[in-house]
A and B are shown apart, each in its own frame.
Chain A
Amino acid sequence: MLVAMTENPHPAIVARRRRLHQIRVRIAAAAVGVFIAVFSVIWAQLPATASTTNAQDSNTSSASSDTSSATSASSSPTPMTTSQS
């Protein structure tokens, strides 16, 4: 009898289990979605800093190769991680 009950639970119980499982799945999916969205936004904001820094670095290196006395204040490279305030 007990085996039969566990094999065929009441449809209402099955429906409730399914509903609760869906709640958990939706919350997990929403959390992953928020993570991806926030990650993408921060990542998208990154290239501006990175490309500026790379351009600055390449200018600095070319300037220092052209002249032996590259002593301007802009020659100090900005770290990639300045966004880590």
Chain B
Amino acid sequence: MHGQFFWITTRAAGSVALVAASVSLCVGLLMSGRMIKGRGIDLRVAHEALSLTALVALAIHVVSLLADSFFHPSLLDVTVPFVSGYREPWMSIGIIGGWGLAALGLSYYARGMIGPDRWRRLHRWTAAAWALGLVHSIGEGTDDGRMWFLAMTGAVALPALALLIQRFSGSSQGSLTAR
């Protein structure tokens, strides 16, 4: 049961990371699309807190996987793409997405160094990193097909996808050019 504990922890933490990143993406898109007026500071704080929650959950997802006695991966297996050989390419997609989320998310704290405009352009790629995480969670297939997983993923990923499509389809062209 000891090994099962870490295996369940990694799955639960992965789910929390997916939910937090999806909701954070929604909040970020609502902010940048200026769809909610007058709650700018609240949305920004919520966006930041959700992003940090996603990164903490992602760290737990990886660390508890290292402790799993059945899979028993090395540090390289879970941090470097295409090293593990376990359920490829889904594992590597998840690793790339995870690094992307961490780098692009934490770049917020270095935006003074990067430059605000360059940082904004860079930050848009967070959506791509999130999409890789979504593909990883569905493709890896551990909980895929279970009703709770499909309901939870659908509830957070579909609104995020809808907002992304709206953002890039040109309906928010005014706000895109403004930013």
Q: Are B8 and A46 in contact, with the CB atoms below 8 A?
A: yes
Q: Is residue B101 within 8 Å, beta carbon to beta carbon, of the partner chain? A: no
Known: A38-B12, A41-B148, A85-B141. A27 touches B19 (CB 8 A): no
Q: How many chain B residues touch the partner (CB < 8 A)?
A: 30
Q: Are B11 and A42 in contact, with the CB atoms below 8 A?
A: yes
Determine the main DSSP class of B at the interface with A. helix
Q: How many chain A residues touch the partner (CB < 8 A)?
A: 24
Identify which of B7, B19, B49 contacts A81 (C-beta below 8 A).
B7
Known: A27-B49, A85-B142. A39 touches B12 (CB 8 A): yes
Q: Are B3 and A81 in contact, with the CB atoms below 8 A?
A: yes
Q: Which residues of B contact A43 (CB under 8 A)?
A: 8
Q: Are A84 and B7 in contact, with the CB atoms below 8 A?
A: yes
Q: Which residues of B contact A70 (CB under 8 A)?
A: none
Q: Is residue A31 within 8 Å, beta carbon to beta carbon, of the partner chain? A: yes
Q: Which residues of B contact A20 (CB under 8 A)?
A: 41-42, 45
